[in-house]
């Protein structure tokens, strides 16, 4: 039986593994099907402390994994089908195989919602992004587009005007679901233009396989057109990766894990960290910080509940 099982392998999961391993808790890390999480789909990361020249997302995740392994963390490539947190010890089923633990840290993250276009998926990291804070800096002086109609779309469009020469906000309806104050702020920004009743049919690329434009369609008239841009940002929401934990820990109305005290969930001995909890910041550094917190909380719990 393990002292702690860590479910997830992004910045939160790997940081939790580093701290837990250094505390001699022998953590088992369930890495999922995409070890390293969302950062493995990112090219250059410039805002993670300690890398003044920037670092490639996959390289950063590999360094975190190696550091956790150095202190004795073990890794399993697999997915968690279900859990049983109603018993002691806690049980985590990895591809159907049960693993037992005295404590569990959930760090499964959240998945950005995309349009589902083949061209969009192919160009992720080549001009297509779901994180303006992460990637906006790379689009200085360029024309870009943001897809979405909520507050997050307005916030990202406004944020991106710091870098871009112009931002086109594309929405499939003629009315936004964003709050009035955010709509007003966006409309007052001279760099933002609006393209309503419009959907993206295809993301176009140039000779260097970088985003060069969009094939767009007016949903009312059926008219097809092209929009020349060099960057596309998706702001249509995130889905927390919590399907395996429904009915086992308390979730909020959006499906994110609800915390009861510090990083502990509604179940004693079960902790959560990173984007599976955090719907506000969604940054590698904040996820890593929460991973540290969860590992320290788990260590304290194990001392009090040997």
Active site residues: 131, 134-135
Distance of alpha carbon 273 from alpha carbon 264, whole angstroms = 9
Distance of alpha carbon 93 from alpha carbon 104, whole angstroms = 12
Asked whether the bond before 38 is cis by omega within 30 degrees of 0, the reply is no
Q: Both tokens of residue 27? A: 């953590």
DSSP secondary structure code for residue 249 in this structure: B
Q: Both tokens of residue 8? A: 């997830």
Query: What is the maximal distance between C-alpha atoms in the chain?
Result: 67
Residue 13 phi/psi, 5-degree rounding, is -65, -45
Estimate the crossing angle of helix 57-70 against helix 11-22, to 10 degrees. 20
3-class DSSP assignment, residue 133:
helix
Per-position b or e across 73-104, b if 16+ CB within 10 A of its CB: bebbebbbeebebeeebbbbbbeeeebebbbb
- Helix or strand holding residue 151 (H, E): helix 151-160
């Amino acid at each position: 039986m393990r002292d702690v099982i860590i479910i997830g392998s992004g910045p939160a999961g790997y940081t939790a593994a580093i701290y837990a391993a250094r505390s001699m808790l022998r953590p088992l890390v369930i890495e999922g099907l995409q070890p390293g999480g969302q950062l493995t789909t990112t090219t250059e990361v410039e805002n993670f402390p300690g890398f003044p020249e920037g670092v490639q997302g996959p390289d950063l995740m590999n360094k975190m994994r190696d550091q956790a392994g150095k202190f004795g963390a073990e890794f399993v490539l697999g997915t968690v089908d279900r859990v049983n947190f109603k018993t002691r010890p806690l049980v985590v089923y990895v591809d159907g195989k049960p693993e037992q633990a005295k404590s569990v840290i959930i760090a499964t993250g959240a998945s950005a919602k995309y349009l589902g276009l083949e061209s969009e998926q192919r160009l992720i990291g080549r001009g297509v992004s779901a994180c303006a804070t992460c990637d906006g800096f790379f689009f200085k002086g360029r024309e870009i587009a943001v897809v979405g109609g909520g507050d997050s779309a307005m916030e990202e469009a406004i944020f991106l005007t710091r870098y871009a020469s112009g931002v086109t906000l594309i929405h499939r309806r003629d009315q936004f679901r964003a709050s009035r104050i955010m709509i007003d702020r966006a409309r007052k920004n001279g760099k933002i233009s609006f393209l309503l009743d419009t959907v993206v049919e295809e993301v176009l690329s140039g000779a260097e396989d970088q985003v060069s434009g969009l094939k767009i369609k007016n949903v009312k008239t059926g008219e097809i057109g092209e929009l020349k841009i060099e960057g596309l940002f998706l702001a249509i929401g995130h889905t927390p990766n919590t399907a395996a934990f429904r009915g086992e820990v308390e979730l909020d109305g959006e499906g994110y894990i609800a915390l009861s005290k510090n990083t502990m969930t509604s179940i004693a001995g079960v902790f959560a960290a990173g984007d599976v909890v955090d719907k506000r910041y969604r940054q590698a550094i904040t996820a890593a910080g929460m991973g540290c917190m969860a590992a320290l909380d788990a260590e304290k719990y194990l001392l009090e509940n040997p």
